[in-house]
Amino acid sequence: IQLTQSPSSLSASVGDRVTITCRASQGISSYLAWYQQKPGKAPKLLIYAASTLQSGVPSRFSGSGSGADFTLTISSLQPEDFATYYCQQVNSYPVTFGPGTKVDIK
């Protein structure tokens, strides 16, 4: 199952609403997770089951979608949110990741 993400990168300002989309090459129900990664660090789980917020993750992050189309939304971008975001499908093996979306400062 191939995952595509759009955009591949974006520039935004603190306080902006940011939306990242992830599309699967076939339906994956709600078996999709989102991760945040900062340079030199391990990925951090943000959202799983398409829309469930991982414990400890700020509520400005939200996820939606099912089937083949999914979105990650950051309601009000904070300085610590500048990072690369990956979607991951866990519907079936091989597990696959999207190519990533880099969010940087405008």
Partner 1 sequence: EVQVVESGGGLVKPGGSLGLSCAASGFTFSSHTMNWVRQAPGKGLEWVSSISSSSTYIYYADSVKGRFTISRDNAKNSLYLQMNSLRAEDTAVYYCARVRFEDGHYIRDDLWGQGTLVTVSS
Helix, strand or coil, per DSSP, at residue 80: helix
Of 9, 14, 49, 76, the residue at the interface with partner 1 (CB under 8 A) is 49
Residue with tokens 């917020």: 53
SS3 content of the chain, % helix, strand, coil (to 5): 5, 50, 45
Pseudo-torsion of CA 39, 66, 58, 55, nearest 10°?
-90
Q: How far is the CB of 14 from partner 1 (least distance, A)?
A: 26
Q: How far is the CB of 36 from partner 1 (least distance, A)?
A: 11
Cα 90 from Cα 77, distance rounded (Å): 27
Of 20, 28, 31, 65, the residue at the interface with partner 1 (CB under 8 A) is 31
- The residue range among 14-22, 27-35, 58-66, 69-77 that interacts with partner 1, by the rule CB under 8 A, is 27-35
List interacting residues with partner 1 (CB under 8 A): 31, 33, 35, 37, 41-45, 48-49, 54, 86, 88, 90, 93-100
